[in-house]
Each structure stands twice: as C-alpha cells, then as structure tokens.
Amino acid sequence: MGVRGLQTFLKENRQSLCRSVILDRDGAGARATVPVVVDAWGVIYQLYLDALPWASGGEYLRFYRLTRRLVKAWRAAGLDPTFVFDGASPPEKHATQLERMQGHVSTARMFYTISAATRSGPSFSRGSAILPPFAAPTFARALASLDVPVKFVPRGEADGACVVLADELGGYVLGKDTDFVVLAAAASDRLKGYCPLDMLEWIEGTPDAENEADGGSFTTVTTKQRPGRRTSRLLPPARYNNPTLVLAAYATPALCRLLRLPASTLPLFSSLLGNDYTPANVPELLSAGVTKPSDRIHGVARALREQLDRPRSKDDNAAAELVFRVVRKLCTRPYVNDSELRELADAIIDATMQYSLPTRDCCSVYPFCGELDVAGCTTSLSRMSTPGGTPPEPSPVLKAYSSAQRAGFLNLVTHAWLYPDRVYLYPGLEDPAGPSTRASAAGTAVRYAAYAIADEALGGLRFPAVSGDELEELMQDKEARKLLGVDEGGEDDGESIAESSTSAPDDEADTTLVATTPPRAVVEYLRQGSSNRVGPRRNDLPTLPTSDAPASLKPLPERLGLYLEHLGSKTPLVEALPPRLQPLVAAVRLCVVQAAEADTTGSRRWLKSEVEAVLRAGIGSLTGWELLRDDDDDAFDDTENEYPTLTNRSAELVAQLTAAFTDAQVLAQALLLLPENGVTHLLPYAFISGVALHTALAGVDPSPSTGWRWTAGARDRFKDAKDAVLDLGDDMFGFTRAPKSPPRPKAKGKRPAANGRKVNGGGGGGGSRFDLLSSVDGL
C-alpha cells in the first residue's frame, strides 16, 4: 500500500517531520541494540534489483550471500531486525494484482522485442523489472541461517503486523510504504517512528571516542567501488573503516501537528488522498487541476478540518455523513450528482477500514482453525461458548499445516485455501507470442492435484458461496455459451474462460442447492493462450483416491512417490535418484512434456542437448549450495560482472523451467515435503542460476562466480539424471535442423551449361569443383 503523494510530501518536509538516527559500528557495543521491524518485501525488491541482474532468471545463491551480508552489517551497527512477510493478497486488491500481472506481460513483450545485446546488460529495464519468483524463499532461507526473527502473515499485507510488532518491541518500522506513518496513529508511544527504506544511508564515521558518547560524529567520505560492480545502498561500502548507518525516522505526531489533524483522522485523510484500496479516479475527482502533491495534501487536510469543526449529529450515520460532506467539498468536477458522490464516499470508507491494526492470532493453528468463518475459532478457549470448557485439540494435519505456514513453507497453498476464486499465476519472462506455459494441461494437473490434497487435509477450501443474482447470471452465461458453441473452461489454450470469478454450475444441478453449496472449483488468473491478456480460468477439483489418512500425513517415502506420480515422473530411473535430485529431474521432464504438448511440428520442443545443458547447470548449482561456507558471504569474483547473451531460445527455456518449478512447489507444499526432512522439494532456487543456465545453454561451463561447482559426484549424478529424462522417448524431443545456405546471387548474363543442366543442379556433372564446394552448408 502507499498513499498517493505522501512520500514526496514527507521528503519535502523532512526538516520538520523527521529526525536522524545515527548508528556507528565502533560504538555499537557500548549501547543497547535498537529493535527494528522490517517490511521484508521492500528489502527483497531493493536489495535484489540494486545488486543483481533480473532478466537472466534469478541469481539465488548470490542473493543468499547478499542477504547474509545485509543482516551482519545491520547487526554490527546495532540494529536488531525482525522481518515480516506479506500474506495472501486481500480481495480489495484484486484489480491491483491484475494490473501488476498485465505489467509483467508488457515487460516480457518488450524483452522479446529488443535485441539480445541490449537486454543482456545488467541495467536493462530496471524500472519495470520482474523480480525472480524464488527471491522471497531464498531471502527467508538466509534469515533462518542467521536465526533472525521472522513472521509470515497468512492473510493480507504485512504493514499492520509490522506496526503492532514494533509497538510491542519499542522500536522502529523500516519499509517503503508511506502507510506505516498512518497506521502508527493507532499505536502507543512505544513505537519510535517510521524509517523509509529509500532514505537509509551509510556514511564513514570518525573513530573519535569522545564523539561517540553524544550519538556519534561522522564525515562523508567518497570511495570508489570496484569497476562495474553493482551494489545496493542497503549495504555498507566495503572500503569504509567505520561504517555508520543513518536512518530518517518520521513520527506520526509531528505529521498531525503539521496538518493540524487529530491522529484518529489520518486513515480517512489518507483514503481521501488515494491508496491501493480506493478507486483509481479519486485524485481526478477530488483534486481536479491540482498537480503538486503538497497542494493536494494541504487542500484535503483543510477540507477535512473544516468539516470536523462543524457541528455533527449524534445518529449512527454521522461518520458516513462526514465523509460525504468532505467528498462533496473536494469534488470540483461538474455534472457529478449526489448518488455518484455517495458511491465514492462508501468506497473511501471501505478503504479507510483497511487501516485497522490486526489483533493477535487466536490460537496456534490460525488461520486454519475456523476463525475466518462465521462460527469462529474452534480451538481457542476464549472463543468457547461455554465458560470453563475445554477446547478441542487441533487435528495433527492442522498442526502440521499451521507449523509450515509459520515457517514460510505454505504461502501458495494458504492463498489457494483462503481465496480459491482468485489464484494469481504470475507470468514469468516467457514470450507472450507463444503459448502460456502455466496454461498447459500437464502443469494445470500438477497444481489442481495440490489443491485437492490441501482441500482434503484442511476440510475443504474456502469456496465462496454463489448468490442468487450471480447464479442467474452464470446460468444465462452458460446458456449463451452453449448457443455459441463455446465449451466451458479447462482447455489448454485458455481462450474459453468464464469471465466471472465464481464458478458456473452444471445444467442439471438444482439451482437452490448450488446457491447455498459452493462448487468445488478453483479459478486461476493467468495469461490467456498466446495473447497478452490476463484473465480467469475455472477448473473443478479432481477427486482423490480414498485413503486412511490425508496425503500430507503419510510417511515421507509415500509422499515422495505421490510427488513424482502427479508430476508424471514415477519411473524406476527417477525413483532410483537421490531424493535431493528428483525435483530437478521431474521439473525438466515436465518442461519436455509441456513443450511437446504445445507443439506439433517439433520446432519448439526441447532438444536433448538443451536437456543436458539445463541438467548440468542445475546439478552444478546444487553442488555449489552444498559446498557453501559461512565465510563465502563477502567473497567477490571479477567474473560476477560478466553476463551471457540472453537469446530468445535460452530465455524461453529458463522461463519454462521456472514455471515448472513453481507448479511443483505448490505440490510440494501441499504434501509438506519440508527441508527439515533433508529434501530439496521446497528449495527450487538451489537448482537455478540464470547466468549459469544461459551460459550452459550456449555450450560453455558456467563461471564459479555464479556458485556453480562441478565435482566427481556431480558428474555421476548428471549421468543418472540425464538417463532419467531421456527415458521419456525420442518422440518427445525436437531435432536440430541443418542451417539453410544463403541464396547465391545470380550472375548477370551467364550462359546456361552446354548440356542443358543448371550449374550446381541435381544429376551431377554440371559446374566446377568450386561450385560443388560452395553448395555445402556452412561454406
């Protein structure tokens, strides 16, 4: 979330609104640590995109090392960080999610339009970059390796949880969204302030011990970085002797004094300015003709103050009337009637409600305990209808799933469980001119198997009920589709999609029953077919075989077998591989099957040489992770500045591999194949280095700077893995066509051969020996 114009306003008024917090490394031992609660996603975006290339497909081992360096540097300066991760996006941000997905498609279209040389540089399109999909789990893995406190919010954004936690710890909130300064209005005095991430600075402090007592003195020093090395401002320059961290802390009371508004009105004030939950046209309707953010902010504050000073009625609608009066005061556009203004006022009230701070989790198995349902939590003593009763013990499967959620290993399944009517399949860097990888039948079957497993374990996904009006509309839509000869959703090309985010019932179903019983279907939003459009596709959940226990609680060998079975890789050669290697082989096999499924000519299928290159890159990357040492965090190799050429073909293959790993990750989460069991099914980033993949696909061994290592053990695993993939059969793979010879220009005035045959023509005997040689490909 972000309040429109507020970030600029805060920077313009920083002299009166903020204070500097200076933390030098040399004086860190003489003072208490400073608690800071960090919005994890803000740091992930800035740290990765500042320092690493994004278009290659993901440099996860290097990002892991960067994250560890960041935490060590912050701790050395005296910060005690706690990171909070966002949960499933709330329904109110549905339009925002679709807009972001459409932006990814536009970025991919631009990538495949420009030349390979232009897009291969490290600074290509940094303004509209696509963050590699496994950056967040890599970041969380690095935090866990250093025992950093982490909180994974199951539902909604992390902003409110950050403020509540910082209030409890008596520290600061560090993030990128200006909503923090608004949310802090409901916190106590223990919250010290909001520190914008983009105003964090490192300076060279002086080692003068006399100056350390009053907070530390410093001088600004200019240092030269290694030529071509990309760094992030979140990290201290390597050549600083006493790196000193400077934070700009904004306090909400200071903002209230400047605006002359009560703290309790800041949420309404922010919604009037516009945020992610208000209609996009709010600035146009309420501040027409005002371009400067500071003028808009002062104008909205003035209008709100005027209405607050007016006498108000005591009835229940007083708050709604206040908002309506402010909206009518600010709206300067002509021909806007009261009904439109009331609709806008209602939308602003709904947006204001998003600023309420979250409460503590009701029990240890939240959100799977029923707290989100009408009946409420079924395991908490405080929710019991009979005082003094004993709450029922949560089932083992609920305990297992909630534990995985708190550890950050269930985000994809949790989102599907919470909102099965809107699962977002973000497109990677795949060519929009080609078929959508996520829409393939093989990949769809993997995901829906995962949804069915979670549905069985959690007692059902939270399917939305279909209202009477929606039911009538859906029935009419179904009849219209039949008359037009259009099938229901589920086709591979993704074109025939029900446009509603709810599911259409079958003709023979009883309408009353359907209206009260939600259909067991999941709606996924993804790129449609070979188009640039993002839209919904609905599929019913498959029926799982009956079993004595949920699949997620079966013994580990059985769960590993189910994983391979749903991925179409339960073969003797794959099962004979070490479990740590099976995710890579299964993902590559899935890519080969998907490519063959979408291609009938053989031109887009995977070549055997491409399979070998991807396996070699993946096994070498896994070996690099296995050989990683703690002292590697600060290591730097000059070859890190070298980037391979990102050809269309290699970029498409990397995108397909990433999509296959993402689909397989949903299945691994549903089956609870956690890393604590010694498996890599939830660590797909261990197999991926974009630079290593592109380099290997070009026929060259990747550089050690990518984390790629090749040992005798890696060679043995490579041979077995290659055999397990090629076991699919020759008809699943493409073939290399010989390059066509360029057409030879016709010689003007050249007489035909005496024997009537064309020079270089068939039948032999015609032309010279040099003509014969020139007809050979490649000469």
Q: Name the band, by pLDDT with cuts 50, 70 and 90, for residue 493.
A: very low
**CA-closest candidate to residue 133, choices 407, 424, 401, 527:** 424
Task: State pTM to two decimals.
Answer: 0.85
Is residue 414 located within the same domain as residue 295? no
> What distance in Å separates the CA atoms of residue 772 and residue 744, rounded to the nearest whole number?
13
Per the omega criterion (within 30 degrees of 0), is the bond before 367 cis? yes
| Strand pairing class (201-205; 218-219) | antiparallel
The number of angstroms, rounded, from the C-alpha of 448 to the middle of its chain's C-alpha atoms is: 20
Q: Name the band, by pLDDT with cuts 50, 70 and 90, for residue 753.
A: very low
CA angle 378, 383, 388 (to 5 degrees): 105
Is residue 509 located within the same domain as residue 559? no
Go through 429-439 and write b for each residue having 16 or more CB atoms within 10 A of its CB, e for each that does not.
Answer: bbbbebbbbbb
Let me know if residue 272 belongs to a domain: no
> What distance in Å separates the CA atoms of residue 432 and residue 449, rounded to the nearest whole number?
27
Go through 692-724 and write b for each residue having 16 or more CB atoms within 10 A of its CB, e for each that does not.
Answer: bbbbbbeeeebbebbbbbbeeebeebbebbbeb
Let me know if residue 714 belongs to a domain: yes
**pLDDT score of 319:** 84
| Strand pairing class (521-527; 150-152) | unpaired
**pLDDT score of 752:** 46
Higher pLDDT, residue 631 or 444: 444
Give the structural domain span for 495: 407-540
346 burial via Cβ count (<10 Å: 0-12, 13-18, 19+): middle
Is residue 454 located within the same domain as residue 601? no
> What distance in Å separates the CA atoms of residue 22 and residue 247, rounded to the nearest whole number?
7
Q: Name the band, by pLDDT with cuts 50, 70 and 90, for residue 685.
A: very high
Any idea which residue has 């002299």 for tokens?
15
The encoded tokens of residue 241 equal: 């002797």
Is residue 534 located within the same domain as residue 558? no
Is residue 60 located within the same domain as residue 132? yes
Please list the alpha-helical segments (H only) found in 31-115.
40-51, 60-77, 94-113
Is residue 327 located within the same domain as residue 473? no
Let me know if residue 662 belongs to a domain: yes
Q: Could you report the per-residue pLDDT of 199-223, keeping only the tens digit for each?
A: 999 999 876 544 444 444 444 444 4
Is residue 430 located within the same domain as residue 531? yes
Is residue 188 located within the same domain as residue 55? yes
Let me know if residue 82 belongs to a domain: yes
The CATH number for 169's domain is 3.40.50.1010
Cβ partners under 8 Å of residue 474, min gap 6: 466, 498, 500, 502, 503, 504, 505
Is residue 602 located within the same domain as residue 723? yes
Instruction: Indicate the residue among 732, 754, 770 that finishes a domain.
Output: 732
Instruction: Indicate the residue among 205, 225, 257 that finishes a domain.
Output: 257
Let me know if residue 222 belongs to a domain: yes
Let me know if residue 159 belongs to a domain: yes
Instruction: Indicate the residue among 353, 370, 396 that finishes a domain.
Output: 353
Q: Name the band, by pLDDT with cuts 50, 70 and 90, for residue 125.
A: confident
Find the largest Cα–Cα distance for the chain. 112
pLDDT over 60 (residue 777): no
Q: Could you report the per-residue pLDDT of 356-411, keeping only the tens digit for each?
A: 999 888 888 899 988 888 777 877 655 555 555 566 788 999 999 999 999 999 99
Q: Could you report the per-residue pLDDT of 59-99, keeping only the tens digit for each?
A: 999 999 999 999 999 999 999 999 999 999 999 889 989 99
For helices 582-598 and 712-726, give the axis angle rounded to 10 degrees.
Answer: 30
Let me know if residue 332 belongs to a domain: yes
Is residue 88 located within the same domain as residue 224? yes
Q: Could you report the per-residue pLDDT of 545-577, keeping only the tens digit for each?
A: 888 889 999 999 999 999 999 999 999 999 999
**CA-closest candidate to residue 55, choices 138, 99, 114:** 114
Domain count, the chain: 4
Is residue 250 located within the same domain as residue 285? no
The stretch 429-440 carries a mean pLDDT of 91
**pLDDT score of 316:** 61
Let me know if residue 393 belongs to a domain: no
pLDDT over 90 (residue 162): yes
Is residue 521 located within the same domain as residue 581? no
> What percent of the residues of the chain are helix, what percent strand, and what percent coil, each to the nearest 5?
50, 10, 45
The encoded tokens of residue 766 equal: 């015609």
